[in-house]
Structure 1
Amino acid sequence: MDKEKEIKAYLDGELLPEVRMKYEIAEEMGLLDRVLSDGWKSLSAKETGRIGGLMTKRKKEKLKK
């Protein structure tokens, strides 16, 4: 999926739950504007790792419920 289609899918609510979670976490961290304008490559390794870590944490929490 190219960048424009992914952004449109995010805004329209048509993404897979895992991808939606990635965007939601980026938004919570205040990074969503940069991701939407410059893509995921614009994030540092630290920022990307933090998003991945939070995704893993949330997935584990869902499994416990």
Structure 2
Amino acid sequence: MPSTIRTTTLPSGEAVPVLGQGTWRMGEDARRHAEEVNALKLGLDLGMTLIDTAEMYASGGAE
């Protein structure tokens, strides 16, 4: 499925999506793992190509 998410162009010339999926609260509770994986899969299925994560989210659990 081709992505229909709008992009913007950085000064470097690289095009990046204007909308991404965040993972800030993911990885904090093992009981929610399957639900979180399904949410990420849905985002990918809908054309998301930008997933925001960071080492500090759930002490690395969101990565």
TM range (shorter): 0.3 to 0.5
Which one has the largest radius of gyration? Answer: 2
Bigger proportion of residues as helix: 1
TM-score (norm 2): 0.33
Q: Taking CA–CA contacts closer than 8 Å with sequence separation of 6 or more, which of the two structures ends up with the larger relative contact order?
A: 2
